[in-house]
Structure 1
């Protein structure tokens, strides 16, 4: 969002003022990792952060999504050697959903395009050779699934159609048992790996705090093992294209 022209009015003084006000006024969550005295840390935070517990703004509520007006297409060009295609899909699940619903969304993303063994990578990249790379990932706070691919301009339409076809197939026939089991194993492995990553632990808990849910990693771990193929199929069947964006080389504009 934005443009370089909007930066012209900024200077060091205004940025410093923004930073000071932000530290004092913005909602804040403090995470402490390690074998430490939590009361000592709390006292230290109060002494170093003015208005740490009384005068800060409340967290804003997550807004409702605007109604879908139909798929939109955005085509742009720039001095790039390779086209970049992004497809934005709306899913029926957001991070504030139940643990079981979110677990099903995670598996749907993994077997659709979130892994090297996924349908998108195997069919569109490996079998058809229509793109340099392709992958899907989630923006769960907004309930979005994004498919990103490196594509030559002449292959853009074919890649879009193949992605939509794979989604239709998944929503109509559902995943195989092998696909679900592989996605379950990978999702649980990644979740286990977060135990040794402080940043991942903080991100997991803070995102759920912002979403107004308190599902734990252990609950999600258990839910992943219990997701039926029908739940994955249902999410795929109700996932719809919102936006097609393509950034291509200037000569392709």
Structure 2
């Protein structure tokens, strides 16, 4: 496996991560901003990057903004908001061709970095207010995105499970914000929040490609921010489950959504994190897993059945689509598979197969520039240092007993069932 190294440079107000590699013919630039998940700021943070990516002071219309990107050999630029554990992450990404591979030697990397600087530091603001037309357009778009979450019942069930399971914890807050809070955000209020975020957030700039260290560092002198002390925010304390919560909801839909949340109290960087990944792979993470084979294939109870780990919050989520009448049986079989994992009822072949799939999945992830950045960024979120080689070496060295020990840490917390109207009396 080719080892990818990141070179860290502490700049004023942000950390620069330079990742030289000859693997790609493009250069990828990602600016990340991390802050605690909070009800008061979530909708502001969901709206802000979309307003910033719409135009700037220099490129004051969307067409001028996009035309300049076209001049950079069709560079792509997009934003994203997400949550990792109880942190709210804003990302700005530019992908641009590497001029080394072009006859035209326009300094595309430098221009792309300067463009990102323009977007972040010179917004389309007049009299301390964001442009009103831009605000209205992006507020409508944000409300549509939030609404689409509720229209997609698979995603809706996942959201509702988290809301119920983590009711008094920041993790229950949605990264996309709340629809009923969008309209109250004014251009002036968003500009005030913009100043606060760029003053307080933990900010990291990643640049990956066939690039020179000194050259990139010089290009990044265009970013000027105040020094800051980034307070160490931690996830909510581990939670001991005393009683499994059961929540049922009915809507007009054809297929019931059975989602179950468990506490693992294991997070990224913990000594048993890779054993948790193996547990999840055998239990429900892959097509050869117990949930897929027993709930979906053997019993034909589910249209889909799978599980996933939330790496920074210590949760395991089980997702399945079932007929409403199969609720009791499906819950029973899922519980039985978890019990079998705790008892160590899985074969050496299942362990070997899962190790191979996890390693292949990891290698596939780091095959893309964005994937490499995401793996590195896990360390920023977790405040730890997991090496790329750990994904291969520690996965390989994990034992059956370590997987069983992790299985016995997994505790059922909340069962959420969204059924069709015919399921009201289930």
- Normalising to structure 2: TM-score of the pair? 0.55
- Give unpaired runs (5+ residues) of structure 2: 1-172
**What are the Cα deviations for residues 175-220 of structure 1, in whole angstroms up to 9, with x where unaligned?**
2100000001111111222231122212212112221221212022
Match of 1:163 in 2: 334
Alignment partner of 1:34 is 2:209: yes
> Kindly tell me: are residues 57 and 103 of structure 1, through their superposed partners in 2, closer, same or farther at Cα, counting changes over 3 Å?
closer
SS at match of 1:29: strand
| Structure (1 or 2) with the larger CA radius of gyration | 2
Give the total of aligned pairs: 249
Where do residues 1-253 of structure 1 align in structure 2 (5 Å cutoff)?
Answer: 1=173, 4-51=179-226, 54-55=227-228, 57-98=230-271, 101-253=272-424
Deviations 1:89-148 (A, max 9, x none): 1124221312xx222111110111011111100111001011110111100211111110
SS in structure 2 at match of 1:61 = coil
Structure 2 Cα separation of the partners of residues 220 and 192 of structure 1: 9
For 2:265 and 2:200, locate their aligned partners in 1 and report how far apart those are by CA, in whole Å. Answer: 34
Relative contact order higher in (CA < 8 Å, ≥ 6 apart) = 1
TM-superposed CA distance for 1:81, in Å, is: 2.6
Higher alpha-carbon deviation: 181-190 or 68-77:
68-77
CA deviation after TM superposition for structure 1 residue 164, in Å: 0.7
TM-score, normalised by the number of residues in structure 1: 0.89
* Offset from partner CA, 1:132-176 (integer Å, 9 cap, x none): 101111002111111101112211221111111001011113321
- RMSD between aligned alpha carbons? 2.1
Cα distance 1:40–1:214, how it changes in 2: closer, same or farther (>3 A)?
same
Q: Which shifted more, 76-85 or 185-194?
A: 76-85
2:18 maps to which residue?
none
